[in-house]
Amino acid sequence: METSKKSEIRKWVKEQRRMLSVSSEAQWDEAICEKLLELEEIKKAYCIYCYASMRHEAGTWRFIELLFKLGKWIAVPKVSGEEMDFYVIKGRSDLEEGTMGIMEPKASCLKIHDTDAPVIVPGIAFDKKNNRLGYGGGYYDRFFEQEPRHRRIAIAYGFQIFDRIPADPHDRAVDMIIVP
């Protein structure tokens, strides 16, 4: 569905992210982090599934560092073929460049399977019905198809929220979107 529209949105959002000032990005990431830490599902969880932000994505590193201080387990995705699994990390040194240049857990990290863990979901764009436009690999959609019980929490900057984005039947919406 509307592949060219999806490509246009991806291109536009990536350009907006590239033009962000360091101070705006830091300020917005801090605001997102504070909102995430206030969520009951984060407070109650012993393990949180979270992506390792890069390329001006809504930042997760401050959030991850604070979760470590709270004694939480953080699990980061690793791609294997068409699937994605989560592995516990203890810090940035547990990551290495993986599929599509994304930072992934090293082989030495513990694979975890916690179907109740809330998931901090990356994305290029979202809409007011909580539809998500990802990077085009479909990894999160397939993951949520296999493990539907996870609470799906997207984080994004304001310019990533649209009135409507193209959504296919296999696309998995998120439960909530946190913006600064």
102 CB neighbour count, 10 Å cutoff: 20
Task: Pick the closest to residue 7 from 170, 161, 133, 177 (CA basis).
Answer: 133
Give the pTM: 0.91
Distance of alpha carbon 88 from the chain centroid: 16
Structural domain contains residue 140: no
- 15 pLDDT more than 60: yes
12 CB neighbour count, 10 Å cutoff: 15
Please report the pLDDT score of residue 2 as a whole number.
Answer: 60
Residue 123 CA neighbour count, 13 Å, CB half: 34
Categorize the per-residue pLDDT at 3 as very low, low, confident or very high, splitting at 50, 70 and 90: low
- Mean pLDDT calculated for residue range 87-93: 94
Domain that holds residue 97: 44-115+154-159+169-180
Alpha-carbon torsion (153, 137, 139, 87), positive or negative:
negative
Q: How many domains in the chain?
A: 1
Structural domain contains residue 102: yes
- pLDDT, tens digit (0-9, with 9 covering 90-100), for 107-126: 999 999 999 999 999 999 99
CATH code, domain with 55: 3.40.50.10420
Please report the pLDDT score of residue 99 as a whole number.
Answer: 73
- Mean pLDDT calculated for residue range 4-24: 91
Structural domain contains residue 141: no
- Mean pLDDT calculated for residue range 31-41: 95
Structural domain contains residue 89: yes
